[in-house]
Every structure is written in C-alpha cells, then in structure tokens.
Structure 1
Amino acid sequence: MWYLLTFAIGTIVGSFLNVVIYRSTKEDLKLWDPPHSFCPNCKRKIEWYDNIPVISYILLRGKCRHCGWRIPIRYPIVEISTGVLFLMNRFLIKDTLLFVSSCVIASALIAISLIDLETYLIPDYLNFTVLIFSFVVALRTSFLEHLISFLIVTIMFLILKAMYRDGLGAGDVILAMGIGFLLAPVPSIFAILIASISGILYALIKGKGKMDIKTRIPFGPFLALGGYTLFLISYGMGWL
C-alpha cells in the first residue's frame, strides 16, 4: 500500500514538473502565473479531472478536451518516470530525511534535463535545489568524503570552464558541484566519466559523426543521468 502511495505521489510531482519544464522554457510565462494549468494551444484552463497524472492522458486519448491538440507523450513519460524513481528510492532508502531529499533531487534533475535539452540553459533555482539537498544527503551519510568529492569536482569544472568558456555553461558547473556533494569521490569521477562519454556520443549523433570544440552540448541531462545512477548504485551497495 505504501509503495503504491509513493508511486502515486511521484506521478503527481511529475505532473507539476511538466508545468515547471514548460514554463521555464517560455520567456513570457512565470512559474506561478497563471496559478492553474492550461492548454498550450487553446489556453483554456485544464480542470482537475483532466489533470490526473497518466489516467487523464489515457482517458483523453492524449488530446485536449477543448481543441483536440495532441498532448506530447513527454507528459505521461515524465509522470511515470518520476513515480518510478520515487518507488526505487522507497525500496532502497529507509531513512526518511534521506528519502525525501533524494526524491527532491531526482525531481529537480528531471526538470533540469528536459529544460537544458530544449534551451541549453539550467535555471539557478533548480541547480541550487540539487546543491542544497545534496548537502543534506552528505550530512546524513559521510560528510567528509562528500566534502572532498565536492571540492575535487568543483576545482575540476572550474578549470574546464576556464579552458572552454563557450563549451561549458555556469549552470553545468553548479550542477556538477551538486553531483559532487551527492556522491563520494570515486563515484563522482565515474559519474563525470559517464556524463562526458554520453555527451560526446550525443554530439556525434547530432552532428552525424562530426564534432568540433564549438559544438554545443546540453551537458545537464548527462550529468543528471550519471550522477543519480551512481547515487542509487552507491546507496544500494552501501558505499555512501
């Protein structure tokens, strides 16, 4: 029963993340204004019964009730993915504060990934959410190891930023700092390695096998994937 509730809460959070992702990519919209959900096409308010995570998408057959606009498949995918991550955290983490912190981090990383993919920018409020709650994780596990990891990753990315000013954004550096605090030193290095390889492969695929130093890479999704995967593995294996 508790696991089902955890999944349900995760999908609700995922529904909110869809709002965050959409509004963060539109310059003419504010996060809390308007306070209700609306159809991006016809701008009609979405009533609560059409806003139930996953279920409403299925019942509406993926279309707006008013104008028939096809709702992007991303919406239910984000809701289900968030629910699954919450569920995985519930299975692995018994400490309540750690569980809540890891769920907040997972949620922020999902939003960061999709916003960065579309805009090549990472909102500061999401980056600092990851950084703050990673600090909480560090306090509840092995703080000294996490602090060392944070310092190593911070220095590494500041050097990279100085070397490749246009290739690495300030948002990537702050996100890397959060990942550094989330993990111990060795998992942090592996997370960055995974992110780097994934980012290069993405650039090669996007550039049809061609890539140069000026190629723009949304590094956030790959840092998020590498960092959170290593976090779950580290916690499950007792490395934190």
Structure 2
Amino acid sequence: PSRLANHIGHTYYQNHEGNTYYQIHKGNTYYQNHKGNTYYQNHTGNTYYQNHTGNTYYQNHTGNTYYQNHTGNTYYQNHTGNTYYQNHTGNTYYQNHTGNTYYQNHTGNTYYQNHTGNTYYQNHTGNTYYQNHTGNTYYQNHTGNTYYQNHTGNTYYQNHTGNTYYQNHTGNTYYQNHTGNTYYQNHTGNTYYQNHTGNTYYQNHTGNTYYQNHTGNTYYQNHTGNTYYQNHKGNTYYQNHKGNTYYQNHEGNTY
C-alpha cells in the first residue's frame, strides 16, 4: 500500500487492489473502490455509499440502511427488514416484510394498504378510515364507532353497542338498534320508529307521538298525555289523561 499526505493534512491511501481511501483532518473517511463506487464514514461511525449511478446509501451505527436515489427520494430499511420510503415532498411510505404498505403524508396522516388492495387511513387524531377494493369507505373513530359510506354516497354508522345508523344522500337518518327496531329521522327533525312487528311510530319536533299499526289505524299522543285514535274508516277516538274516551265519526259527530 502507498500513502500520500498533501499540504492541507488530507491523507490518501491506495491498497494493492486499486481501492482508494481518503481521510480529511476532521476524521471523516472516504473510500472509493475500483468500480467507481464511493463510501464515506464520518466521525460518528455512520457509513454512506454512493454507487456509480449517483444513488446514495447510508448506514448508521445501529445497522439501519438509508437509500437516496438521484431524484431525491429516500428509502430506509431497518434491521428487521422493513422498508421506509420518503419522496421529495416529505411523504413517507413504509412497507413491512409481509408486503403491506403504509403511507404517511407531511400532515401526520397515515395510509395503509394491505396486499389485497384494501386501503386504511388514520389521521392525526387517531381516527381510522378503511376503503376496500369496491370503493366503499369505512371510518372508525377513536371511541370504537364505525362509519360506512358506500359508493352511492349513503353513510352507515355503527356505534360500539351494535346500533346501526344510516344516512342517505338526502340527509335523512335511519337508526336500527340491536333488537331489530328501526328509527328514521328526516331533515326537518321528525322521528319515525318501526319495531320488528311492522308497527310505525312518528314523533315530530314538538314532542307529539303518532303510532300506526300494521292494520292502518293511527294513534296520536300529544305532549300532555292525551291519546287520539283514528281507524282506517276516518273515525277518531280520543282518550284524555283521566281515562275518559271520546268518539268522533267521519260526519263530525262527537260521542
């Protein structure tokens, strides 16, 4: 081997294979082998490698490897075989050893795509979105509630007790609890309820309740506790909170 020290204190070293080492006065070491590849080791023990295509590799003292290609994109592979990728806009991609891909943009949001093509998204508040390969979107917030939006714009919501809400694209909301009963609330604030026997209840925004059973008869109870009943012939019955019953037929007569 031969050594050459120039007048500014830099040391060059070339061994018998034609490899060249270069050490400047700060303790950093450069190494160039006979293929034109360049290695650089700084005084903290980190190693950089640049091959003849201009790509740069970096390995720190924990065994993690970074790779930067000539377009400015950075790849990182840790010692467990997981690969991270950061492009020039600051977005970070992560691929683990099972082929799943994670993506984190510069706002801290994380996307995850597994090997079946499904995409998960987690924003910086801990909420998780899931989009499967048919274009349907699921959303789960940090309390365990799940939202589902299909490709027609309808939204389903299921909370952690198993109740399901559904909102269609006109703003109407449906609610189904775990016993199979269905509630419906339209955009004016009125609420409809249908139980599993087919009976329908309706409550408007003033607190009055209407009930229609499966034979077409309608019951009405206002907020004072009085009950009205209208059968399918148009006759109306009224029972006040004292238990008295009034009857008015379709001709307007009252009994």
TM over 0.5: no
Structure in which a larger fraction of residues adopt helix: 1
Larger-Rg structure: 2
Q: What TM-score does the superposition give when structure 1 sets the normalisation length?
A: 0.19
Structure in which a larger fraction of residues adopt strand: 2
Structure with bigger RCO (C-alpha 8 Å, 6+ apart) = 1
